[in-house]
Structure 1
Amino acid sequence: MTAQSQLRQIHPLSWTIIVGTIFGRMATSMSIPFLSIYLIGKLGATASEAGIVVAASSLIGVFASFYGGYISDLIGRKKVLFISIFGWVFVFVGFALANQIWMFFVINALNGLCRSMFEPTSRALLADITPQESKLLVFNLRYAAINLGVVAGPLLGLYMGASESGSAFYIPALVYFCYGGVLVLQFLIHKDIGGVNRQQSDRLTLKRAFQVTGRDRTFMYVLIGMIFCVMGYGYFDSTLPQYLELGSKFANGATLFGYMISLNAVVVLAVQYPLVRFASRFSPVAPLIAGNICVSASMFVFGASSHIWMLMLGVVLFTVGEVLMFTMTDMLVDRIAKPELRGSYFGMFGFNNLGNVLAPLLGGFLLDGLGVHRALIIFAIMALITAFGLPFLLLGKRHLPAEEIAKEG
């Protein structure tokens, strides 16, 4: 089947989620990536305090993601999407109005709650309404949409002074309000989608959903390995901007980090298609292994960088690893998941956000404890911890063929 015919098969609701993702991520990346810089520069937070606030979102996501995916299996995708998207409206208004560090902690925790409900539910909905032969295309369009939004978002955030003012948070609030309104109209048109299978919901319990996913060895190996992968990804969003802001090696840390985020998104858009096309020839776990190696290596580059061009080289290496790690995960989870528990599997996979919880905490403590001048040691430690995911990913790769054969039988 040609790409053109696959595009014609994409459901209008899928297009709504993909396009909404562009604008949602654009608006979010105007503000959230600069949160730790804003807390340090304007509220006088330490690196550890900023790390704790940033980690709050992922901390809630770790514990709520499985329930978010499960509840979408139980009460329907539509209701969960509405709750999370319109909840985000209030969250970003709260960010704009907050003026104490504890307020940012609470609000960012609510931000994580909304994300832990929206992410597994939206991915499960895409899997529900997309033909098997078009799923890789749809999942990669969604990933491209994320990065397309992130290309412009940080630059707009810099222009609006997101690292110095909370007013930039009003924009994502407005964007998510509009996004939610469009989804309401779409579900009114497609009333047969996003509801609940009553026969399925009557026999689906939280205990059963947790037991089935928890006993899936292939899934659990991949999940544990991805926790370490996500830690490497989390250092880029949390520890690296703190290092650039607190250190004296590079001037205008906030501006430099904004350019690095945009370069990250541009490189994703440039390499995603050829990389995914090449990686699709192998086991879906193999790109995760290669991606982990690239992200770990990029940490060494960041720590050793003494010139801006070295930082940018590190961003390119990091981005290649990011693409390899994250573009195939949705397809992998969809392949492993039992159809009646698809939301629960995507929700359980949200436990990889434990890496996003640990990354800013560990990074903040390393910066405070060792000092920002010991960058090479700090980033080397983070690189080694990221690489701890490799043994688990190799175990997942080893068990995947047996699971695929069992499914076919």
Structure 2
Amino acid sequence: MIAKNLAMIHPLAWTIIVGTMFGRLVTSMSVPFLAIYLTSALHVPATQTGLIIAGSALAGVLFSFYGGYISDRIGRKRVMLVSVFGWSLVFFGFASAQYVWMFFVVNLLNGVCRSTFEPAARALLSDTTPPEHRLLVFNLRYAAINIGVVFGPLIGLQLGSGASTFPFYITGAVYVLYSFVLVLQFYLHPIQTLQSHASDTAARPNIRQALQVTSSDRVFLPVLIGMIFCVLGYAHFDSTLAQFLAITPDISNGSKIFSYMLAMNAVVVLIVQYPLVRTARRFRPIVPLIIGNILVALSLMIFGIAHNLPVFMIGVFIFTVGEVLMFTMMDMLIDHIAPAGWKGTYFGTMGFNNIGTMVAPIIGGLLIDRVALQGGIQVFAPLALLTLVGLPFLLTAHRRLTIRDQRAEAEAAGENRVVAEKVVGG
């Protein structure tokens, strides 16, 4: 049965899944160590480091909506190819940067490329996959991300990512290869001939319509606001936690501990993802987000009181379960909410949750500069409380989605009854 389902996946979808695995392998051996490199090697203050790290998220906030929207307008192929070629150049830019302002500019461009490529790629997965197989495809992509992240941090540690930008050269080279593979796959499988499972007759939206539809969606809007706070909590793992481990006098070998934590995070994802998804699919897709929000907040509290590797690893396990619950069902939730013909726009608009990613390192950097020497709890307790602010928005979205789905089911049942009565009457 599994082999039959895998055979139904389109070659372009497989390209995105495999490319995602290798892409995350090389980015996780370089990008997560950027905060450590800036703080430890270049001696950049934590607040300034936070601003640099936030640059990528800032670009994501500004460009993700347009990335998804443009892919609905001009097609996934053009958007994906231009952005992935640009992305490879960005990583070479990281490798050759020498001044602090260069890292800020290059990280902005990193966010532009990611926020343009990712919504188009996820929309293409939806376009090329029948509805009954989309949960499988989205979760294969999520598993691919974490397969890459299992090995990337350990390789990065061996390459000295916390003390050098050399690993970014490898990252850039892999993305050049990914670019050429995508060109070949689009040539072998022209996107114009794909039988999209979205509505072929849906009119392509203009920018005003796109903004009106997404901002007035009574389910999507609270989901987006709630996810901003979820992502805010999640983003502290790669930013605030990394800096805290690098500078706190209570912990030695912070870079090594952090690389172990990254690897464990990915391993736990691979172990728990399948059973959690099988359980979570029985509920409406917002329920896992609600539970995940609570668990991420709890894990931040544990990071605040941890003083040794075992306690940190307990926190990582709880954090990872929350992460899986929040993100494995996210693509399915957006695919469920988005009207036909608006997939790219909705996936792109969800990129506004990068507000959380953007704000997280700034808040974290300020807390580290001011209260880190007093103890970890003074840093991470406020961050946990901020994460929980998203909870009422997610509960509101859950209530509204339940009402919407019940109405849709009632309307469908009424239409089927009318058809049946006509058949009987005929």
Q: Give the structure-1-normalised TM-score.
A: 0.97
Equivalent pair of 2:334/2:346 in contact (CA under 8 Å)? yes
- The residue aligned with 2:421 is none
Does residue 172 in structure 1 map to residue 171 in structure 2?
yes
- The residue aligned with 1:312 is 313
- Per the TM alignment, residue 250 of structure 1 is displaced from its structure 2 partner at its CA by 1.1
- Per the TM alignment, residue 170 of structure 1 is displaced from its structure 2 partner at its CA by 0.5
Give the partner amino acid of 2:365: G
RMSD: 1.7
Equivalent pair of 2:372/2:378 in contact (CA under 8 Å)? no
Does residue 102 in structure 1 map to residue 101 in structure 2?
yes
- The residue aligned with 2:45 is 46
- The residue aligned with 2:296 is 295
| SS of residue paired to 1:372 | helix
Say if 1:203 and 1:323 are closer, same or farther in 2 by CA, change over 3 A: closer
- Per the TM alignment, residue 202 of structure 1 is displaced from its structure 2 partner at its CA by 6.9
- The residue aligned with 2:6 is 7
Say if 1:200 and 1:207 are closer, same or farther in 2 by CA, change over 3 A: farther
Equivalent pair of 1:75/1:201 in contact (CA under 8 Å)? no
Q: How many Å separate the matches in 2 of 1:243 and 1:368?
A: 10
Q: How many Å separate the matches in 1 of 2:205 and 2:382?
A: 43
- The residue aligned with 2:331 is 330
Equivalent pair of 2:269/2:321 in contact (CA under 8 Å)? yes
Q: How many Å separate the matches in 2 of 1:371 and 1:317?
A: 23
- Per the TM alignment, residue 375 of structure 1 is displaced from its structure 2 partner at its CA by 1.1
- The residue aligned with 1:34 is 33
State how 1:70-219 maps to structure 2 within 5 Å.
70-193=69-192, 203-219=204-220
Which range is displaced more, 105-114 or 303-312? 303-312
Equivalent pair of 2:248/2:372 in contact (CA under 8 Å)? no
Q: How many Å separate the matches in 2 of 1:170 and 1:20?
A: 17
Q: How many Å separate the matches in 2 of 1:216 and 1:200?
A: 22
Q: How many Å separate the matches in 1 of 2:168 and 2:367?
A: 29
Deviation string, structure 1 residues 23-60 (Cα, Å, up to 9, x no partner)? 00000011100001101112120000110010000011
| SS of residue paired to 1:166 | coil
| SS of residue paired to 1:154 | helix
Equivalent pair of 1:84/1:114 in contact (CA under 8 Å)? yes
- The residue aligned with 2:60 is 61
Say if 1:193 and 1:142 are closer, same or farther in 2 by CA, change over 3 A: farther
Deviation string, structure 1 residues 4-23 (Cα, Å, up to 9, x no partner)? 32211111111110000010
Say if 1:372 and 1:326 are closer, same or farther in 2 by CA, change over 3 A: farther
- The residue aligned with 2:240 is 239
- The residue aligned with 1:259 is 260
Q: How many Å separate the matches in 1 of 2:408 and 2:339?
A: 10
Say if 1:194 and 1:401 are closer, same or farther in 2 by CA, change over 3 A: farther
Deviation string, structure 1 residues 208-243 (Cα, Å, up to 9, x no partner)? 011101100100111110000001110111000100
Give the partner amino acid of 1:68: G
- The residue aligned with 1:20 is 19
Equivalent pair of 1:226/1:389 in contact (CA under 8 Å)? yes
Deviation string, structure 1 residues 183-230 (Cα, Å, up to 9, x no partner)? 111110111349999x97975211101110110010011111000000
- Per the TM alignment, residue 404 of structure 1 is displaced from its structure 2 partner at its CA by 2.2
- Per the TM alignment, residue 308 of structure 1 is displaced from its structure 2 partner at its CA by 1.2
Percent identity between the aligned chains? 55
Give the partner amino acid of 1:89: S
Q: How many Å separate the matches in 1 of 2:203 and 2:327?
A: 34
Q: How many Å separate the matches in 2 of 1:362 and 1:326?
A: 23
Q: How many Å separate the matches in 2 of 1:215 and 1:203?
A: 18
| SS of residue paired to 1:27 | helix
Q: How many Å separate the matches in 2 of 1:406 and 1:28?
A: 44
5+ unaligned residues in a row in structure 2: which ranges?
412-426
| SS of residue paired to 2:236 | helix
Q: How many Å separate the matches in 2 of 1:403 and 1:4?
A: 35
- The residue aligned with 1:397 is 398
Q: How many Å separate the matches in 2 of 1:58 and 1:404?
A: 33
Which range is displaced more, 186-195 or 125-134? 186-195
Deviation string, structure 1 residues 337-364 (Cα, Å, up to 9, x no partner)? 0111110000000111111001100000
Give the partner amino acid of 1:91: V
- Per the TM alignment, residue 369 of structure 1 is displaced from its structure 2 partner at its CA by 1.7
State how 1:277-292 maps to structure 2 within 5 Å.
277-292=278-293
Equivalent pair of 1:81/1:118 in contact (CA under 8 Å)? yes
- Per the TM alignment, residue 407 of structure 1 is displaced from its structure 2 partner at its CA by 4.4
Equivalent pair of 2:203/2:341 in contact (CA under 8 Å)? no
Give the partner amino acid of 1:121: A
Deviation string, structure 1 residues 113-153 (Cα, Å, up to 9, x no partner)? 00000111100000001011100000000000000000000
Equivalent pair of 1:96/1:170 in contact (CA under 8 Å)? yes
Q: How many Å separate the matches in 1 of 2:373 and 2:25?
A: 30
- The residue aligned with 1:369 is 370
Equivalent pair of 2:9/2:129 in contact (CA under 8 Å)? yes
Q: How many Å separate the matches in 2 of 1:112 and 1:43?
A: 22
